Structure 1
Amino acid sequence: MNDNTKDISIRQAVNTDLPKLAEFLQFLVNAERPFDITLKEGEIFYYSIEEFISDPKSELLVIDFSNQIIGCGYAQIRQAKPYQKHEFFGYLGFMFVDPEFRGRGLNNLLIDHLKKWVLSQGITEVRLDVYHDNEAAVNAYKKAGFEPILTTMRCDISQMGENI
């Protein structure tokens, strides 16, 4: 991080943050549209932001710069698949930093806080989803210690007709 780091803090989200967080979610949706042609038009809500604030198995944090929210992200404790080594894992999502504040290490700072919260829950496995073609995000997560393990693939077979 560089200039004005003294004015930056990371704190738990509260209900009065909801309007700004809803705005951030739509910024994220619009940024992800080029990577996912299956997304519906218009506003999309991937999840309930309010539930992240009240759910004890979730930690929604915001990046505060001089009493202005400029970023956010959540960690959520989820049950692993029965065949995996770990019983639970921390899932990170809703990772957003205002474009004006990118390149200052804020995403890594936020991820570090979320990882510490997951660890405080007695969990050491942390996962997240990122669009394969979103190179900037993939590189940011690699820099934060994440490694790719699975690629989801799709096929629209609606045009195949009777040839199936």
Structure 2
Amino acid sequence: MSYKIKKASLEDLEETAELFNLYRIFYRQESDVEKGKAFLRERFLNSESDIFLAIVDGKAVGFAQLYKLFHYTKLERQWLLSDLFVHPDYRGQGLSVALIDRSKQWCEETGACGLMLETEKTNDIGNSLYPRCGFQYDGAHNYYYWWK
């Protein structure tokens, strides 16, 4: 299969929003393409994230979304690989690895020290993929969250 990875822009909003909606459904959220599109539009317009698309036969079939963070011990920028998704019809063909590789390249291009990510303990696909792509499991930290 032939594919390319490209950096998304506002012109890619429709395709990106469709994939983003499927991603959210994967994480048990209600389908809402319009709300997701508005969310992504704001990220694009405010330069708050960088998105890479996997393109097969001219169609976006996967994406990775990165948010800028800063690492307190390395005193450098790092990227949060917040979202990674490949349409189920295109899984098992190396597109997730290609999106991760492009994200690593983005670290080089932007002078960042690396990538961090988190995924659910039940995400068997991700939990087997990330170590294969060179990520190390950090069992020393507990991650907590607070929602208002």
TM-score category, normalised to shorter length: 0.7 to 0.9
Change (3 A) 1:72 1:42: closer
Change (3 A) 1:52 1:70: same
Q: Which runs of 5+ in 2 are unaligned?
A: none
**Offset from partner CA, 1:45-85 (integer Å, 9 cap, x none):** 4x9322443555643111111111111112232123x4x33
- 3-state secondary structure, aligned to 2:51: strand
| 2:8 paired with 1:9 | no
Percent identical among aligned pairs is 23
Distance 2:125 2:78 in 1: 24
TM-score, structure 1 as length reference: 0.73
Distance 1:103 1:151 in 2: 31
Shift of 1:112: 0.6
Q: Which runs of 5+ in 1 are unaligned?
A: 34-38, 155-164
**Offset from partner CA, 1:26-53 (integer Å, 9 cap, x none):** 21122112xxxxx6x56474x9322443
Aligned to 2:22: 27
Aligned to 1:59: 50
Change (3 A) 1:145 1:55: farther
How much is the aligned-residue C-alpha RMSD, in angstroms?
A: 2.4
| 2:7 paired with 1:18 | no
Distance 2:31 2:87 in 1: 21
Aligned to 1:90: 79
Distance 2:46 2:5 in 1: 19
Aligned to 2:68: 77
Q: Which has the larger radius of gyration?
A: 1
Q: Which amino acid aligns with 2:135?
A: F
Change (3 A) 1:151 1:30: farther
CA contact (8 A) 1:96 1:107 kept: yes
CA contact (8 A) 1:59 1:117 kept: no
Aligned to 2:114: 125
CA contact (8 A) 2:62 2:86 kept: yes
CA contact (8 A) 1:52 1:60 kept: no
Change (3 A) 1:90 1:153: closer
CA contact (8 A) 1:77 1:118 kept: no
- 3-state secondary structure, aligned to 2:108: helix
